[in-house]
């Protein structure tokens, strides 16, 4: 890789690897000069822009820990993350800071806010606010080389119970993950990767790490309309594009310039099923483009991929283990499953995260060794991550997703906790009870449905419920269908029976709009 090779492009700006490294070092020196203890947490609450990348990699270079925060989150959710892992410095924009003005004083660990603008807001806050340029340190300090086992990042993902949990990743986790993805995607300096996914998503963040590892160019794009993505693929001569089914459905309805086919080398999908209908569409639209179908979970980064030459033969398969990972399927008797036998997908190897931040109970539940009866090249001393996903494999070892073991919803590429949505619904006046579950949806993977009872049924409408929830939840968590009823289905234990709800509504709302 040459120093003048373009590392990042954003709108009309180009940043070389040499310049990017210089800016990352300046940010790292500023973090060290702040006097924070080692591995302190630094939150980044920004859209995709160069400052986001510089802050993330500069934080890690300083031996601190990045906490990427999804730009779609609402203030109360941001507050939970800032408090849960005691973020010391928050990197954000003036507009987003104003958005958070009602909760900043409730984040006791925060010591400083850095804004990506030289205009300090007039509004007074309870802690120092520094502009991006002022934060940079003129005097260089020595950058210590972080240990492989040091914590580098905490990515927040929804758990099956309540608030999102922070998945703890080391420098080794991130480095080996980048190597794995770069290997099977065959990345090189000639690649130009369009980053449209949130960088708070491990799927989106890996485009940076794997691209930088091989000296590729990464183009940052926050798009308003799907046609903007096609325009960017054309304008920047993109060779690699990662997406989720929602995006692929949107792009399927748009005309693609013919010459894109000459340079778009590969596309990838993760987050939910890439339907056979979409496969047929893109195989016809992009006959020379490799399609990679992938499966992963934040707790282990990426687990499987399907080789492009297998997509016509096994369009519903999630493939086999990626490099540096071992995937086993365990049945209810703690034995490894035989071909065509359904069991839980368990990921073993150096990509497995270190557990959940400050959450020993859930860490113990999800991160535990393989049963002694199961052989593993990694042995039984290190923890494996039990995905909660039920899969099976065929006689040739290719795996197929069956269903979730718990109530987690996978929609638009996000894992969503039904309980967190239910808590927000129950805070609405007149609501008495509610139950949130999902139904199959071709574009979203799963669509969220909420059944609600209230003191005054006539005062509850889908429109009112949706409008209220949009004030407290990001759009992807707001149910697409509300059912107002007099009572909920209750099982023998006195709790809402979601299995009965699934049975009753799956077919009725399987393509909920």
In whole angstroms, give the CA distance from residue 200 to residue 210: 15
- Whole-model pTM? 0.85
The 3-state DSSP class for residue 347 equals: strand
Cα torsion at 191, 445, 197, 146 (round to 10°)? -90
Q: Which two tokens stand for residue 373?
A: 């009866």
Asked if 138 contacts 328 with a C-beta cutoff of 8 angstroms, the reply is no
What confidence score (pLDDT) does residue 158 get? 74
In whole angstroms, give the CA distance from residue 253 to residue 248: 9
The 3-state DSSP class for residue 108 equals: coil
In whole angstroms, give the CA distance from residue 388 to residue 374: 18
Residue with tokens 């009602």: 102
What confidence score (pLDDT) does residue 493 get? 39
In whole angstroms, give the CA distance from residue 131 to residue 117: 6
Cα torsion at 25, 30, 31, 35 (round to 10°)? 140
Asked if 135 contacts 114 with a C-beta cutoff of 8 angstroms, the reply is yes
In whole angstroms, give the CA distance from residue 113 to residue 91: 6
The 3-state DSSP class for residue 420 equals: helix
Torsion angles phi and psi, residue 167, rounded to 5: -85, 125
In whole angstroms, give the CA distance from residue 64 to residue 58: 9
Closest by CA to 491, choosing from 438, 420, 435, is 435
Angle at 484 (CA atoms; ends 483, 486), nearest 5 degrees: 130
What confidence score (pLDDT) does residue 383 get? 78
Asked if 201 contacts 164 with a C-beta cutoff of 8 angstroms, the reply is no
In whole angstroms, give the CA distance from residue 512 to residue 201: 25
Torsion angles phi and psi, residue 259, rounded to 5: -75, -10
> Left, alpha or beta for 427 (phi > 0: left; psi -120 to 50: alpha)?
alpha
In whole angstroms, give the CA distance from residue 444 to residue 246: 5
Asked if 75 contacts 100 with a C-beta cutoff of 8 angstroms, the reply is yes
In whole angstroms, give the CA distance from residue 467 to residue 469: 6
The DSSP bridge pattern shows strands 129-131 and 217-220 to be unpaired
| Tens-binned pLDDT, residue by residue, of the chain (513 aa) | 688 999 999 999 999 999 999 999 999 999 998 888 888 999 999 999 999 999 999 999 999 999 999 998 999 999 999 999 999 999 999 999 999 999 999 999 999 999 998 777 777 777 889 999 999 876 666 677 888 899 999 999 875 556 889 999 999 999 999 999 999 999 999 999 999 999 999 999 999 999 999 999 999 999 989 999 999 999 999 999 999 888 998 899 899 999 999 999 999 999 877 888 889 999 999 999 999 999 999 999 899 999 999 999 999 899 999 999 999 999 999 999 999 999 999 999 999 999 999 999 999 999 999 999 898 888 777 779 999 988 999 999 999 988 777 777 888 888 787 878 887 888 888 887 788 888 888 888 889 999 888 877 677 889 999 999 999 999 999 999 998 887 776 543 345 666 667 667 766 565 555
Q: Could you tell me how far CA 15 lies from the centroid of its own chain?
A: 25
Q: Could you tell me how far CA 475 lies from the centroid of its own chain?
A: 15
Q: 416 pairs with which residues across the strands? A: 409
Strands (DSSP E) found in 360-444: 367-368, 384-393, 399-404, 409-411, 414-416, 431-441
DSSP 339: T
Cα torsion at 466, 472, 476, 480 (round to 10°)? -10
What confidence score (pLDDT) does residue 162 get? 64
462, containing H or E segment: helix 462-469
What Å distances lie between residue 311 and 136, 281, 340, CA to CA? 48, 13, 19
418, containing H or E segment: helix 418-426
In whole angstroms, give the CA distance from residue 406 to residue 447: 16
Q: Could you tell me how far CA 156 lies from the centroid of its own chain?
A: 8
Exposure class string for 11-47: b at 16+ Cβ within 10 A, else e: eeeebbbebbbebbbbbbbbbbbbebeeebbbbbbbe
Q: Which two tokens stand for residue 511?
A: 């393509």
In whole angstroms, give the CA distance from residue 441 to residue 328: 28
The 3-state DSSP class for residue 470 equals: coil
Asked if 329 contacts 391 with a C-beta cutoff of 8 angstroms, the reply is yes
């Amino acid at each position: 890789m040459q120093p003048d090779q373009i590392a990042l492009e954003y709108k009309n700006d180009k940043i070389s690897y040499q310049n990017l490294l210089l800016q990352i070092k300046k940010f790292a020196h500023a973090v060290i000069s702040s006097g924070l203890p080692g591995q302190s947490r630094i939150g980044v609450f920004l859209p995709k822009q160069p400052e986001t990348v510089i802050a993330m990699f500069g934080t890690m270079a300083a031996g601190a820990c990045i906490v990427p925060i999804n730009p779609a989150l609402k203030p109360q959710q941001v507050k939970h993350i800032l408090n849960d892992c005691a973020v010391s410095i928050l990197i954000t924009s003036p507009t987003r800071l104003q958005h958070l003005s009602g909760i900043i004083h409730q984040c006791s660990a925060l010591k400083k806010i850095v804004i990506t603008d030289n205009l300090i807001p007039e509004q007074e806050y309870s802690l120092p606010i520094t502009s991006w340029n002022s934060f940079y340190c003129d005097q260089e300090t020595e950058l210590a080389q972080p240990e492989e086992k040091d914590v580098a990042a905490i990515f927040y993902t929804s758990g099956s119970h309540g608030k999102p949990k922070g998945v703890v990743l080391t420098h080794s986790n991130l480095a080996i993950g980048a190597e794995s993805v770069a290997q099977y995607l065959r990345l090189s300096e000639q690649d130009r990767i369009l980053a449209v996914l949130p960088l708070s998503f491990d799927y989106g963040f890996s485009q940076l790490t794997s691209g930088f590892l091989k000296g590729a160019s990464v183009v940052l794009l926050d798009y308003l309309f799907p046609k903007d993505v096609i325009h960017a693929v054309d304008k920047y001569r993109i060779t690699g594009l990662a997406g989720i089914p929602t995006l692929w459905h949107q792009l399927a309805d748009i005309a693609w310039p013919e010459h894109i086919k000459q340079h778009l080398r590969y596309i990838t999908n993760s987050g939910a099923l890439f339907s056979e209908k979409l496969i047929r569409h893109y195989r016809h639209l992009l006959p020379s483009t490799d399609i990679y179908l992938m499966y992963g979970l934040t707790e282990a980064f990426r687990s499987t991929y399907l080789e492009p030459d297998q997509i016509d033969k096994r369009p519903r398969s999630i493939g086999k283990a990626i490099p540096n990972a071992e995937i086993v399927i365990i049945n209810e008797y703690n034995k490894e499953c035989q071909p065509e036998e359904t069991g839980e997908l368990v990921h073993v190897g150096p990509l497995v995260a270190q557990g959940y931040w400050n959450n020993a109970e859930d860490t113990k539940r999800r991160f535990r060794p393989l049963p002694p009866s199961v052989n593993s090249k990694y042995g039984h001393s290190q923890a494996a991550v039990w995905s909660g996903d039920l899969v099976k494999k065929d006689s040739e070892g290719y795996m197929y997703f069956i269903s979730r073991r718990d109530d987690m919803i996978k929609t638009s590429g996000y894992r969503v906790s039904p309980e967190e949505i239910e808590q927000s619904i129950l805070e609405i006046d007149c609501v008495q009870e509610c139950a949130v579950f999902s139904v199959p949806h071709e574009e979203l993977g799963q669509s969220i449905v909420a059944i609600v009872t209230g003191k005054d049924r006539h005062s509850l409408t889908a429109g009112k419920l949706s409008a209220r929830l949009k004030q407290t939840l990001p759009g992807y968590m707001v149910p697409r269908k509300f059912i107002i009823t007099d009572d909920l289905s209750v099982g023998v234990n006195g709790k809402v029976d979601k299995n009965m709800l699934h049975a009753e509504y799956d077919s009725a709302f399987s393509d909920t709009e």
